[in-house]
């Protein structure tokens, strides 16, 4: 896993099953496609709700964003904390080693707001009998922390459809990357997401075009 652009460009994230467990890693093709469409992130706030290895949040930080990364698994959170210290990343990334739904409530109570919220839970995980991606989308919608004009990006299994609307969020776009679907939501009354994410037709990449995304467990993606 390599950071592709910005102040950390070229740095490689260490990965091992001993450190991270049997985790699903977001493919480089998907990650690069997302960030290429979003453009510069200088001065914007990014919430990485299921950090895993930390690569998505680190890529956002590298491109200028202020980042909050959430990772409830102690082993992965400890590994990410050590990496942030090794790379001498100070206040640019706020790591919170707690469950996503609890952090969302904290952030809402604090009056925090974010321009981008990235949701990438383990594909097989559930909460209350529902896929975790759907439960977290509902949590984000209720939290009120998305800025006007901001985007919620949910990475989920293509076999786990999400609703078109979860007020006040409305789906603006979908992109297919192998077995992964990226669903993009914005506030119903906010600017449309077309300028940010809809500059290309739906990506329908075959599984051979992407890195292995079969490593999944009960903590997070990333």
Predicted local confidence at residue 91, as pLDDT: 81
Q: Is residue 11 included in any domain, yes or no? A: no
Q: Please give the pLDDT value at position 212.
A: 35
> How confident is the model at residue 190, as a pLDDT?
55
In angstroms, rounded to a whole number, what is the distance separating the alpha carbons of residues 17 and 172?
Answer: 36
Question: Which CATH number goes with the domain that contains 180?
Answer: 3.40.50.150
- Number of structural domains found in the chain: 1
> Is 175 a domain residue?
yes
Given a cut of 60, whether residue 97 has pLDDT beyond it is: yes
pTM of the shown model = 0.84
Specify if 201 maps to a domain: yes
Residue 2 lies in a domain: no
For residue 35, tell me if it sits in a domain.
Answer: yes
In three-state secondary structure terms, 204 is strand
Q: What is the tens place of the pLDDT at every residue in 47-89? A: 999 999 899 999 999 999 999 999 999 998 999 999 999 999 9
Q: Is residue 7 part of a domain?
A: no
Q: What is the pLDDT of residue 187?
A: 97
Q: Please, what is the average pLDDT of the chain?
A: 84
Domain region containing 73? 17-209
Neighbours of 93 (CB within 10 A): 24
Whether 174 maps to a domain, the answer reads yes
Residue 93 lies in a domain: yes
Query: CA-CA-CA-CA torsion for 137, 135, 121, 52, nearest 10 degrees?
Result: 90
112 pLDDT higher than 80:
yes
């Amino acid at each position: 896993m390599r950071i592709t652009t910005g102040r950390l460009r070229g740095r490689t994230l260490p990965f091992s099953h001993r450190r991270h467990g049997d985790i699903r890693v977001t493919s480089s093709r998907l990650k690069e496609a997302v960030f290429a469409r979003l453009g510069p992130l200088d001065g914007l706030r990014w919430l990485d709700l299921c950090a895993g290895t930390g690569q998505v949040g680190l890529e956002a930080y590298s491109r200028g964003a202020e980042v909050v990364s959430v990772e409830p698994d102690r082993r992965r959170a400890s590994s990410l904390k050590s990496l942030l210290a090794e790379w001498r990343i100070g206040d640019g990334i706020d790591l919170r080693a707690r469950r996503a739904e609890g952090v969302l409530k904290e952030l809402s109570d604090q009056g925090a707001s974010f321009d981008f919220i990235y949701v990438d839970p383990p594909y097989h995980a559930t909460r209350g009998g529902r896929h975790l991606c759907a439960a977290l989308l509902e949590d984000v919608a209720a939290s009120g922390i998305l800025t006007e004009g901001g985007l919620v990006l949910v990475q989920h299994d293509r076999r786990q459809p999400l609703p078109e609307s979860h007020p006040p969020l409305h789906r603006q776009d979908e992109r297919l990357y192998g077995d992964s679907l990226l669903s993009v939501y914005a506030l119903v009354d906010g600017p449309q997401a077309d300028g940010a994410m809809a500059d290309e037709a739906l990506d329908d990449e075959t599984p051979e075009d992407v890195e292995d995304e079969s490593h999944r467990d009960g903590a997070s993606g990333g």
